[in-house]
Structure 1
Amino acid sequence: MPLFVVRVWLPDRPGALGAVASRIGSVRADVVGIDILERGAGRAVDELTIDIEDPQHVDLLIKEIGQVDGVDVEHVRPARAVLGDRAVEALDLAAAIASATDREELIDEVVSGTAALFGADWVAAVSMARPPAVVSSVGDDLPSAEWMAAFAFGAASGADTEPSGVSPRAATGGGVVIGELACASLGESVDHGPDGLELLLSRRDLPLREVERSLLERLSSLARTRLAALPSATVPSATVPSADA
């Protein structure tokens, strides 16, 4: 049966989730997965993976969930073709990071793995050297490397605004849409200048919650440790002609 992921806000009190599950069952659907994304101020944000018999009933499903007092549906999306457990997927990515033996492959693994894990529209590893450069990326319509580097610098310094004077649309020449952004350091690197490497992730229409940002930081921390342990890329030395040449 088709799977859908429904993100809901609900009261953080006993019985609230049970009431939601009861409404879901009323449209012949089952909850097959739950992710608790955030809790605080008497509210919780959960993602429910729901197996529904008839996809034509999704609108009815949302209406039924909304009938529960204090519950709001934030977002609904089809689940991936293969249902996976986010915790297992995160562990798989962590294992791949820990066992990596090549810096470039490790960076590519972090970029592609985080894109899949968070359902991101795009992810990029950006060298903070002068000038900045995109080292690895997944997705389309990325902002320019300069814009992403400026955003990463602002995030590290505690700024909460977009980089001034540098438009992502103007920089790329296209219709780039900047969605919810997250940034994490991959550490200093001989390969990428003294300011190192930054990982940026964007996901439109669906805010990144506290648990997701925490998971991203933990995976990035593991990647920083592994990158620091791997040898840096070396530049081949120039060939010196022999005296007989």
Structure 2
Amino acid sequence: MSKQQDQDYLGRTSILDFDAPSITQLIDVRGWRQLPHEQAARAVYEFCRDEILFGYNAGADNLPASAILEEGLGHCNTKSTLLMGLLRALGIPCRLRGFTIDKRLQKGAMTPFVYFMSPKEILHTWVEVSLHERWVVLEGVILDEQYLRAVQNRFSNCTHAFLGYAVATPCLAKPAVQWTGRDTFIQREGIARELGLYASPDEFYTEHKTNLTGLKGWLYHHFFYKVLNNNVRRIREGAHDSTALSRECEHREPPSPSF
């Protein structure tokens, strides 16, 4: 990695505000600065995956890392931002890769009306972290363990590739989300198009904006996100009707990624 790339992949930005007091305090309390880089990256990854619950943020995708930490929940794009902020605060280079995903993978996690209102393709990002001179994909950060286990329990008889409930994976029973020092994935099979590599979320959202704008954005930020989070909470707590859920477990071919 060149010196310029190193600077690009470690720098603070408006969205990656890793010098915010709340982020600094979290890192100090957890003792992450004292860990070797790979151990620190693992600790940060597992924190963002499981302690920041899967959910839909009240603000737009381009929320700063400190706001996501304060809210305590996130989805693919906002969890990616927080993960990057924490990694860079620890001096660990990371970058963002952008995509669109087929909205079918959100069916079930979204309520029917919000799903209907959503665009066919939704912006999606994952983080790539530099460890041992290679880039490791950390997409598996999106779903907290409790939520993922609830989906697995509901569809315990699923034997084919699974697409829905914010999951797109070849094997629902054993998705590649655990830290091994290698790539992790939970929604990759739902990718429609690749949008490229970015040094920061700021660059990505400057080019691609955010998922919801205009009237749809206003409705989301004032009403929809609360409905969606109530739905996610019910799934996590296992409160959905199992009969209705069983009808959702049908074989649906994922889109063919263009990368």
**1 or 2, which has the higher helix percentage?**
2
The answer to whether TM tops 0.5 is: no
TM-score, with structure 2 as normaliser: 0.23
Give the strand-richer structure, 1 or 2. 1
Normalised by the length of structure 1, the TM-score is: 0.24
The one of the two structures with greater contact order (alpha-carbon pairs below 8 A, sep at least 6) is: 2
Bigger Cα Rg: 1
